Amino acid sequence: MKKNNLHNRLHKLGKRATGIAAAAFLVLMAGACGSDFEGYIDEEIDYDTTENNANGEKIGVAMPTKDLQRWVQDGENIESHLRESGFTVDLQYANDDTALQNEQINAMVDEGCKILVIGAIDGTTLTDSLEKAKEAGAVIISYDRLIMGSDAINYYATFDNQLVGTLQGQYIVDALDLENTDGPYNIELFTGSPDDNNCNFFFGGAMEVLQPYIDEGKLVIPSGQVSKEDCSIKGWSTDIATKRMNGLLKEYYNDGKKLDAVLSSNDSVALGIADALSKNYKGDFPVLTGQDCDINSVKNILSGKQSMSIFKDTRTLASKVVEMINAIVNGDEVPVNDTTSYDNGTGIIPSLLCDPVFADKENYEEILLDSGYYTADQLK
Q: Could you list the residues that contact ligand BGC (CB under 6 A)? A: 68, 70, 144-145, 192, 196, 198, 236, 266, 291-292
- Minimum CB distance to ligand BGC, residue 311 (Å): 10
Q: Of the candidates 120, 68, 97, 75, which has an alpha carbon nearest to the alpha carbon of residue 270?
A: 68
- Minimum CB distance to ligand BGC, residue 255 (Å): 33
- Minimum CB distance to ligand BGC, residue 64 (Å): 7
Residue number with the shortest CB distance to ligand BGC? Answer: 266
Between 235 and 286, whose beta carbon lies closer to ligand BGC? Answer: 235
Between 86 and 290, whose beta carbon lies closer to ligand BGC? Answer: 290
Between 146 and 249, whose beta carbon lies closer to ligand BGC? Answer: 146
101 in Cβ contact with 126 (< 8 Å): yes
Dihedral of the alpha carbons of 180, 182, 187, 193, in degrees to the nearest 10: 50
Give the DSSP H or E segment for 13.
helix 3-13
Instruction: Give all strands of the β-sheet with 155-159 in edge-to-edge order.
Output: 88-93, 58-63, 115-118, 139-143, 155-159, 351-354
Between 207 and 241, whose beta carbon lies closer to ligand BGC? Answer: 241
Between 169 and 192, whose beta carbon lies closer to ligand BGC? Answer: 192
- Minimum CB distance to ligand BGC, residue 78 (Å): 15
46 in Cβ contact with 9 (< 8 Å): no
Angle (CA) 118 356 301, round 5° = 110
**C-alpha span between 16 and 155 (Å, rounded):** 7
Between 327 and 359, whose beta carbon lies closer to ligand BGC? Answer: 359
Helix (H, G, I), strand (E, B) or coil at 355: coil
- Minimum CB distance to ligand BGC, residue 350 (Å): 19
DSSP state letters, 117-150:
EE--SSTTS-HHHHHHHHHTT-EEEEESSPPPS-
- Minimum CB distance to ligand BGC, residue 23 (Å): 26
Dihedral of the alpha carbons of 57, 65, 294, 357, in degrees to the nearest 10: -60
Between 292 and 338, whose beta carbon lies closer to ligand BGC? Answer: 292
- Minimum CB distance to ligand BGC, residue 68 (Å): 5
Classify the C-alpha dihedral 279-280-282-288 as positive or negative.
negative
Q: Summarize the chain as % helix, strand, coil (round to 5).
A: 45, 15, 40
